Amino acid sequence: MRVIARRTLVLRLGIGCVGLRPLAAPAAASEVTGPVERLYAALLGIMKQGRATPFARRYDAIAPVIDAVFDLPGILQVSVGLRWAALPADEQAALLDAYRAYTVSTYVANFDNFNGQRFEVLPGARAVGNDQVVQSRIIAANGSPRALDYALRPVGGQWRIVDVLFDGSISRLAVQRSDFRAVMAGGGGPALLASLQQKTADLQAASQ
C-alpha cells in the first residue's frame, strides 16, 4: 500500500499487535467482523498481484467483495443528503454506478503493492449507537501500525460497512459528505457525476 496524506487517504478509502487476531483464521470470525476480514483477504490478494496485473483484472477481483461488504447505496445517499430524494431515478442510478466504480477504483489504486504488510482485526466489536464498530490495524513491513476501524450496520439481513474511521476517529463518511455536498451545491447531480467519473479515471490512469 502506498503512503498518502491523511485527508487524501480518508477520501480514497472511502483505508501494536498484542492481543490482535490475525486474518489467518477466518473460520473464527464473528458475524460482525466477518465483512472486514473478507475485505482484507481480498485486498491482500490484489496487493500481491500488484501492478504487474492489469488494473481491470484487479478491479474485477475485488469489486464483488466491495459490493458484498459495503452498503454503497446507503453511504451514497447519506453523503448526498436531502438532495438525494429530489433526484430523478435515472440520475440516482447513474450516480450509484459512478460511486461504485470510484470506490472500487480507490481500493485497487491504493492497495497495489505488497512488501510484507498485514491486516489484523480485533475480535468482537463495540456498540456505537445503532452501529457496531470493528477495530483493526494495518501493520507496515517495518511493524508500524495504523488504526483503521469500520462501522457496520445490518442491511438486508447482513452486516455491511457504512463508514471507515481512519486512526480510529476520522470518519471517511463525514469527509466525503462535505466533499459531495459542496460539489452538489455548485452543479447538482450532473456535477457530482462528472466529479466521480473524473476521480475514477484519474485513479485508474495513475495505477496502470
Residues of the chain with confidence (pLDDT) below 50: 3-11, 14-29
What domains can be seen in the chain, in order of their start residue?
6-206 (3.10.450.710)
Looking at residue 208, its pLDDT comes to 74
Looking at residue 17, its pLDDT comes to 30
3-state secondary structure the chain: CCCCCHHHHHHHCCCCCCCCEECCCHHHCCCCCHHHHHHHHHHHHHHHHHHHCCHHHHHHHHHHHHHHHECHHHHHHHHHHHHHHHCCHHHHHHHHHHHHHHHHHHHHHHCCCCCCCEEEECCCCEEECCEEEECEEEECCCCCEEEEEEEEEEECCEEEEEEEEECCCEEHHHHHHHHHHHHHHHHHHHHHHHHHHHHHHHHHHHCC
This prediction's pTM: 0.85
